[in-house]
Amino acid sequence: MTAAAASNLKPVSLELGGKSPLIIFEDADIDEAVDIAFNGLFYNKGEICVAGSRVYVQEGIYEKVEKKLVEKANAWIIGDPFDPLVNQGPQTSKKQFEKILSYIEHGKREGAKLLTGGKHIGNKGFYIEPTIFSGVKEDMTIAKEEIFGPVMSLMKFKTMEEAIKRANDTMYGLAAGVITNNLNVANTVSRSIRAGIIWINCFTRFDLDCSYGGYKMSGFGKDFGLDGLYQYLQIKSVVTPIQDSPWH
C-alpha cells in the first residue's frame, strides 16, 4: 500500500493471514469433527493462511474431542516429505522454525496447558512435533498472533453466543468454520462471524467460483469468483447525446 501510494496509485489486493476459529458443537459427529479440526490445522505443517488454529469445542463433548485430537497428534508421522508414509515434513525455513518454537514457549509461560508436542524433532532439519495447548485464553499470545505452524489452541465453550463472541475477539478475519448438524446454528454462526469465508462441516475447501479474502487486519480484496476478476477491471462510463430522441 505504501509503495502504491508513493508511486502510481496502483490498486492492491492484500491477503494478510489470519487466526481462524473452528467451532465444534456437541451435536456434531465427534470422529468427523476431530478429523476436520486436525487436518484444518496440521495440514501442510500448519503453514497455511486459513489454518484453524483456534478450536472451540462445546463442553458436552470437549473431553472426548481433546482425547482424540491428542491421539491423532501422537500418531502423526513426521520426517522426509518424499516418503509416502510421512504426514508432516519440516517447516519452511530456520527463521520460521525458531519463530514457532518461541510461540510454544510463550504458551507455556502464559499458563496454557501443553497436552502434546512442543519440541524439535531430531538434530537435523526444521521438524516440530504437532503441538496442542488447552486452557487457552483469548488474551494469550498464542491465541492472538498468527503462528503459521503446527500449534493448536484448544478451548471450551458453553453457548453459541459465547462461541461467536470469542471467535470474533481477534484482529483477524480471514476464515472460520462451524461443525454442527443444526441448520439454524450453522446459519446463525456463519452470519455472525466476521470473516471472509466460513466453512460448514468442512474446512480448507476452495473452489474457483467461491470468492476468498479477509476482513479486518486479514486484508481486503478477493481471489477467485467474479469478485476476483473484477479487481483486474476498471469501469468506464461513455456518454453520448441522442438528438431528436422520441423519449425526451
User: 163-211, pLDDT tens digit by residue?
Assistant: 999 999 999 999 999 999 999 999 999 999 999 999 999 999 999 999 9
**What pLDDT sits at residue 47?**
97
Catalytic amino acids? 15
The rounded percent of the chain whose pLDDT value lies above 70 is 100
Kindly indicate the confidence band of residue 247, based on its pLDDT and cuts at 50, 70 and 90: confident
CA distance 132 to 42: 10
> Beta strands 197-200 and 131-134: pairing type?
unpaired
Look at the block and give the residue holding cell 478475519. Answer: 173
| Tens digit of each residue's pLDDT (9 = 90 or more) over 130-162 | 999 999 999 999 999 999 999 999 999 999 999
Q: State the average pLDDT over residues 95-109.
A: 98
Mean residue pLDDT of the chain comes to 96
- Assigned CATH topology for domain 1-231: Aldehyde Dehydrogenase; Chain A, domain 2 (3.40.309)
Q: Which of 1-10, 104-113, 190-199 has the lowest mean pLDDT?
A: 1-10
* 175 phi/psi in degrees, rounded to 5: -150, 170
The CB-side HSE value for 210 (13 A sphere, CA atoms) comes to 9
Kindly indicate the confidence band of residue 244, based on its pLDDT and cuts at 50, 70 and 90: confident
**What pLDDT sits at residue 83?**
96
C-alpha cell at 244: 431528436
Per-residue pLDDT at 248 exceeds 80: no
- Cα distances from 121 to residues 2, 11, 69, 219, in angstroms, run 40, 44, 20, 34
* 156 phi/psi in degrees, rounded to 5: -105, 145
* Percent of the chain as helix, strand, coil, to the nearest 5: 35, 15, 50
